[in-house]
Structure 1
Amino acid sequence: MLRSLIGAAAALAFALPAMAEVPPYPAGFRTQAVEVDGATIHVRIGGQGPAVLMIHGYGETGDMWAPLAAALASDHTVIAPDLRGMGLSSKPEGGYDKRTQAGDMARVLDALGVQRADLVTHDIGNMVGYAFAAQYPARVTRFVLMDAPVPGIGPWEEILKNPLLWHFRFGGPDMERLVAGRERIYLDRFWNEFSADPRRFDEASREHYARLYAQPGAMRAGFAQFAAFDQDAIDNRAFLARGELTMPVLAIGGGASFGTTMADVMRFAATNVDGAVIANSGHWLMEEQPEATVAAIVAFLGRH
């Protein structure tokens, strides 16, 4: 069980000065700043056809989705925001509970004139995505979640006992000072320990994301994402009490991370769940095994 729970352990190129390279989004993608309640959300948009909303997690930004965007843009409108507090989105003092951030995603879709979308999420993006799907089920056509638990759903309390998840409770008045100027050291812990092979999370990506997380307010916002988990669990139990999700769900786990546990978790919250395991991958599926991960997602979206 411990092993299965995370080991069981361009878009920005046209917005920032030259820096370490990460896979670029396809030509023709644009960015837009969308005002939501209390924040400004940086969004990448491109492609054509039915919409796909992609929500990233901690230690990355919407840049992580570039390989999937390239695979989908010919027949999907791809929407890839940075969550509030992360990447090029603003970093307000509050609003990091996932119910509020789901509202951010709804406002993004509203601003783009999109009523319904497929939902593809990873890590903290799973938590925002679940809150979105639970509050706005008519707006979600299909839902893909990747390799992270959802607060309050299934074996959440057991998952919290995993020592690899120490960062969920890392808090207090000195936490920002402890990592100031050491953001790369802090983030390397996650990129290394949650990978099947840390070399697959390459140096260019590490430099890229470390620079973004060193922006003023970014680490504070990241800690706030974790500090909100207790409230998220309360909110999610209330959502689940209203009924399970009924749209098709694909729950993907890394073979050296959540594995089949990802689907087990989602079967507590949804009635139509398929599972998939990406071999030779830890938590960072889009970096460690991008081709296999993209293939699994594209097949699921096409099959349904």
Structure 2
Amino acid sequence: MRHDTTAHPYTPPPPRIRDGLNEAAVRLAGVDASVAALPDIPPRAPDADGDEEKLGAVTVTHRFADAPGDGGTVRWHYVECGPADAPVVVFLHGVPDSWWQWHHALEALGSDHRCLAVDLKGYGQSEKGTGDFRQEGVAVQLEALLDQLGTERFSLVTHDRGTPVGDHLVARLGDRVLRYGRGQQHLWHLHPDLHPQEAMFVSPDAPGMLADARRFVVTAYTLLTEHGVGASDLVRTVQEFGHEGISAAVPRYFHSSSFRQEWIERRTRLVPRWRCPVLLLQGADDPLQPREFYTDPEVLAQLPPGSGVHLFDSGHFWPFEAPDETATVLRNFLTHP
């Protein structure tokens, strides 16, 4: 499809990004060895409502809820922890992740925050049937879940492909969202060279590639990280991405919109409706999301008062690459004026 780029011109990536993109082939050459180095990964049995799991000194409880959506209900899986009367923080993950992406943050914040880490529709143990997989549609359904749970006011923290859903949620809910930790996704600047994964996710081969959860997870983490991610985190990520139905469900998001469409929606109708402080959370060395695109004063000028940017000393997957830094940055953002 040919796009008219005169109204919304693309931003050329900085020259250093070209070097990073050229390194992808070198990194891919190491995937086979990384896949082989992982221990055996048996399927993980589904959780039941009320099952508990220890994260250090914090206990999370697995929950399932049927909330309005798709002409009937959508079944959501999420974990919760923390005091019932504490400030609420909602976490949304990206690809190829699940609520587990936030387990370090839950352990750090769960003693004095009410944390809800959701498996997005199509991922983990949440709903995977056909239906509305537009980013806005999923945001509406997630709003229905939060309403059902009595979550009136909350802060939101997102990563990667959970962020487009978060963008719509923040635009819809106004003052209900207190703070938005917006993680690792294109915002004001874009260039087609920086989202090559779109073609992969809409290809007929996508379900087959995603079905090999072990290889897909290792490939994503090999290409986009700068620091090592522990084998235990990779194993659990593979298990959570290996639940039945994910390989067919996740591509529906990409067939329902495009990176360009999301970008134009942000610039024209979403960002102007954001009301809370926004902290842009980006890995300084993500090869597909140049840090210069987020530190640009033009970008920060579009955001509400009190907004800012934090660059992690990491690649794309900072919740695993830099867990201590993540915990410190989130705590400061959520608790300090």
- TM-score normalised by structure 1 residue count: 0.83
Distance 1:276 1:106 in 2: 27
Gaps of at least 5 residues in structure 2 are: 1-12, 25-42
For residue 101 of structure 2, what is the amino acid of its counterpart? M
What's the secondary structure of 1:104's corresponding residue? helix
Asked if 1:149 is matched to 2:186, the reply is yes
Asked if 1:210 is matched to 2:242, the reply is no
Label 1:60 to 1:214 Cα distance change in 2 as closer, same or farther (>3 A). Answer: same
The aligned residue for residue 64 of structure 2 is: 33
Label 1:114 to 1:47 Cα distance change in 2 as closer, same or farther (>3 A). Answer: same
Distance 1:58 1:268 in 2: 29
The aligned residue for residue 63 of structure 1 is: 100
Distance 1:100 1:169 in 2: 22
Q: How does 1:161-176 map to 2 (within 5 A)?
A: 161-162=193-194, 165-170=195-200, 171-176=202-207
The aligned residue for residue 327 of structure 2 is: 294
Distance 1:5 1:88 in 2: 38
Say which of 312, 317, 322 aligns to 1:284. Answer: 317
Over the matched positions of the two proteins, sequence identity in percent amounts to 23
How many residue pairs are counted as aligned between the two chains? 286
Q: Do 1:99 and 1:235's aligned partners in 2 also have CA atoms closer than 8 Å?
A: no
What's the secondary structure of 2:55's corresponding residue? coil
Distance 1:26 1:89 in 2: 26
Distance 1:14 1:25 in 2: 21
1:237-273, CA deviations, whole angstroms, 9 ceiling, x for partnerless residues?
A: 55338x3423111111112124353354853752332
Q: Do 2:208 and 2:247's aligned partners in 1 also have CA atoms closer than 8 Å?
A: no
Q: Do 1:253 and 1:278's aligned partners in 2 also have CA atoms closer than 8 Å?
A: yes
Asked if 1:227 is matched to 2:255, the reply is yes
Larger radius of gyration: 2
The aligned residue for residue 221 of structure 2 is: 191
Gaps of at least 5 residues in structure 1 are: none
Name which of structure 1's ranges 78-87 and 108-117 shifts more when overlaid on structure 2.
108-117
1:96-116, CA deviations, whole angstroms, 9 ceiling, x for partnerless residues?
A: 211111122212211221111
The aligned residue for residue 173 of structure 2 is: 136
Distance 2:158 2:181 in 1: 6
Shift of 1:14: 9.1
Q: CA RMSD in A?
A: 2.9
Name which of structure 1's ranges 75-84 and 25-34 shifts more when overlaid on structure 2.
25-34
Shift of 1:225: 2.4
Q: Do 1:5 and 1:261's aligned partners in 2 also have CA atoms closer than 8 Å?
A: no
What's the secondary structure of 1:127's corresponding residue? helix
Shift of 1:72: 1.7
Q: Do 1:25 and 1:67's aligned partners in 2 also have CA atoms closer than 8 Å?
A: no
Distance 1:126 1:5 in 2: 25
What's the secondary structure of 1:83's corresponding residue? coil
What's the secondary structure of 2:63's corresponding residue? strand
What's the secondary structure of 1:267's corresponding residue? helix
Higher RCO, 1 or 2 (CA under 8 Å, sep at least 6)?
1
For residue 254 of structure 2, what is the amino acid of its counterpart? F
Asked if 1:87 is matched to 2:124, the reply is yes
Distance 2:64 2:18 in 1: 36
Shift of 1:283: 0.5
